[in-house]
Chains A and B, each alone.
Chain A
Amino acid sequence: MTALLAIGALVAGCAHVKPWQRERLAKAKMQLSGDAQATELEQHVYESREGSAGGTGGAGGGCGCN
């Protein structure tokens, strides 16, 4: 329920931002993913040394790093 409310709030919040108002959001520094290859190496460090995984845009699987 909390997640659904959060999604609703997110979608409601976008209604006022028109395409010509999103110049700042298009800048590379504002991208949510950052440098994808750097992110992959970074997440590998976290996921092989912490007990949790996921939440990075893809679902988790097995790991050969035990």
Chain B
Amino acid sequence: MRLQLIAALAIAAPPTARADPEVAASARIGVYADSDHTTVTTTAVAASARPTDALRLGAQYLADAVSSASIDVVSSATGRIHELRHEVTTTARYHRGDHALGAAYLYSVEHDWASHTLVLDASRDLAQHAVTIGVAVTGGINAIGKVGDPDLHRRLVTGGGDASVTVAASRRDLLQLDLGVALLDGYQASPYRFAVYGDLRAVFETVPRARLRQVIALRWNHQLFADSALRTQLRGYRDSWGIVSITGAAAYVVGVGDFDVDLHVRGYAQREARFYRATYAAPMPYMTADRELSRFVDGFAGAGLAWRRDAGDAGALRIDLKVDGFAFAFSQVPAMPSRSGMIVELGVGLSW
């Protein structure tokens, strides 16, 4: 998975408002459904405990259940597919004074894919905790197979680094700058997907073995009035395949008694990989039918409602519900010029 550090932080961070509880537990279920006949149900449960003042240990189990009859699936003549992915994460985080160190191991497995990932991160507070600098490194090994072809064995090795600086820029403003780089080396195509050229001749797609990704992100949180905040993010991305993208996001969060209400929007625009074509006239060294490598724009918008009750030493409870709608517009995919759908999530967090 590409979310190693986020997963690590999801377990290491208590899910409620209490500063540093002895034990924290959380569960979340999300349902994704789109107009491409795909439904994904994600369930995650996590727990963490603090055996000493400085150390927190955690674990999470996550399952993705996918049911799809998308154009990718139909074009590979397999009918509707049903897949189940399991992911287990274990974390350890040491925090003393101005320093924090973290380590996480993730194992993810599905019927045709297995991966092992290690994440190490460190951070240090400076200027009386007004500045935090952080670094993280990741490394992973992926084993890829194919249903119906026991002889297909491919490997993908991943590595990356990330550096961030977070600053209390004013009494009302938090800023964070994040720089990341990742290198992927190995099999990155889909063994199920075909590219078509000429007179409808189909070949398995092929993409370059190596992919270097670079990303820069700036986040700005601004406290507006009594109990509300505006969260914004701007992200730029490019990679060695020629993809360039920009992402903008904003969320407004306001507290009303024990409730938090948030409204959020996100927009994304991407330029295609240099070897992507809507149609190929003749065979090329690299050919793909992956619409994620095409030129497209997408937008997400939604609202969330969270209820929190903090009973001091007795513990804290948080329940939240989030609903989002989204739409994609693919300008280079004649078979599917648009995709829309909804995502609904329900989360519960406990700490004591």
Q: Which residue of A lies closest to B236 (CB)?
A: A55
Q: Does A17 contact B (CB under 8 A)?
A: yes
Q: Is the CB–CB distance between B164 and A15 below 8 Å?
A: no
Q: What are 20 contact pairs spanning A and B, CB under 8 A?
A: A14-B130, A25-B168, A29-B228, A30-B223, A41-B28, A44-B42, A45-B32, A47-B2, A51-B243, A52-B239, A54-B182, A55-B237, A57-B162, A58-B6, A58-B8, A59-B181, A62-B156, A64-B1, A64-B112, A64-B115
Q: Is the CB–CB distance between A45 and B171 below 8 Å?
A: no
Residues 189-238 of B at the A interface (beta carbon under 8 Å): 189-190, 193, 213, 215-219, 221, 223, 227-229, 231, 235, 237
Q: Is the CB–CB distance between A63 and B2 below 8 Å?
A: yes
Q: Which residue of A lies closest to B110 (CB)?
A: A64
Of B64, B137, B171, the contact of A21 (CB 8 Å cutoff) = B171
Q: Which residue of A lies closest to B343 (CB)?
A: A45
CB-defined contacts of A27 to chain B, threshold 8 Å: 223, 227, 229
Q: Does B90 contact A (CB under 8 A)?
A: no
CB-defined contacts of A21 to chain B, threshold 8 Å: 171
Please list the residues of chain B having a beta carbon within 8 angstroms of any beta carbon in chain A: 1-13, 15, 17, 26, 28, 30, 32, 42, 44, 46, 64, 85, 108, 110, 112-113, 115, 117, 119, 121, 127-131, 134, 136-140, 142, 144, 156, 158-162, 164-182, 184, 186, 188-190, 193, 213, 215-219, 221, 223, 227-229, 231, 235, 237, 239, 243, 245, 247, 253, 255, 260, 268, 270, 273, 290, 292-293, 298, 320, 322, 328, 343, 345, 347, 349
Q: Is the CB–CB distance between B215 and A16 below 8 Å?
A: no
**What is the distance, in angstroms, from B238's C-beta to the closest C-beta of chain A?**
8
Q: Which residue of A lies closest to B118 (CB)?
A: A61
Interface of B is mostly: strand
Please list the residues of chain A having a beta carbon within 8 angstroms of any beta carbon in chain B: 3, 6-7, 10-11, 13-19, 21-22, 24-25, 27-41, 43-47, 49-64, 66
Of A13, A33, A39, A59, the contact of B136 (CB 8 Å cutoff) = A59
* Interchain CA distance A19-B230 in the complex, whole Å: 22
* Interchain CA distance A30-B184 in the complex, whole Å: 34
Q: A32-B176, A44-B1, A55-B235 are in contact. Are A61 and B171 (CB under 8 A)?
A: no
Of B12, B190, B227, B243, the contact of A52 (CB 8 Å cutoff) = B243
Q: Is the CB–CB distance between A37 and B217 below 8 Å?
A: no
CB-defined contacts of A35 to chain B, threshold 8 Å: 15, 320, 347, 349
**What is the distance, in angstroms, from A12's C-beta to the closest C-beta of chain B?**
9
Q: Which residue of A lies closest to B255 (CB)?
A: A29
Given contacts A10-B167, A57-B6, 5 further A-B contacts (CB under 8 A): A30-B221, A51-B239, A51-B293, A62-B188, A64-B110
* Interchain CA distance A13-B188 in the complex, whole Å: 42
* Interchain CA distance A19-B112 in the complex, whole Å: 52
Of B30, B142, B229, the contact of A29 (CB 8 Å cutoff) = B229
Q: A11-B165, A32-B166, A54-B215 are in contact. Are A59 and B245 (CB under 8 A)?
A: no
Q: Is the CB–CB distance between A62 and B140 below 8 Å?
A: yes
**What is the distance, in angstroms, from A1's C-beta to the closest C-beta of chain B?**
12
Of the candidates A3, A49, A56, A61, the one having the most CB atoms from chain B within 10 angstroms of its own CB is A61
